[in-house]
Amino acid sequence: MKFNYFSWLCFSWAFLGIITRMLMIILGDKWNKWEMEHAYKRKKPLWIHGACGFGFAVVVYTWYQVFNLEIAHSWIIAAITSLTLVKISILLFNYDKFRKFASKTLNDSKKKMKLNISVFIMSAIFIVLGVFVY
């Protein structure tokens, strides 16, 4: 198996998704408390600006690679990666709304379960893309 930027991106997304979901499940309420009291404090933490800048750079670099590397179907992961711009925009420009959404999701077991299942499924899709497509 040959690794390239797109396969690494797929495996990175999958790893991040699986690890965070496992931590959410294992830590339960401790995760919820940490996320709302530390990661997403009432006052927007400075780390969010850096993380959003990094996320934006990943999207730009991914599209740059789509047009500069001759890798079939690279646009698929680029399009999926571009969806992070929605979260980036909300975090930067509507932080309080994001915080309310996060709190509702974390404190509603059905919503949290749907989120975790969705992320596990997306992680599996990323692994399949990384192994069989890129």
Residue pair 21/120 in contact by the 8 Å Cβ criterion = yes
pLDDT (0 to 100) of residue 72: 94
pLDDT (0 to 100) of residue 46: 95
pLDDT (0 to 100) of residue 1: 72
CA pair distance 134, 31, nearest whole angstrom: 34
Domain that holds residue 12: 5-133
pLDDT (0 to 100) of residue 33: 96
Tally of domains within the chain? 1
Compare 133 and 1 and report the one with higher pLDDT: 133
Asked if residue 42 has pLDDT above 80, the reply is yes
pTM: 0.89
Q: Which residue has the tokens 């404190």?
A: 107
pLDDT band at 2 (very low <50, low <70, confident <90, very high): confident
The two tokens of residue 66 are 């789509």
Percent of the chain with pLDDT over 70: 100
- pLDDT tens for 80-121 read 999 999 999 999 999 999 999 999 999 999 999 999 999 999
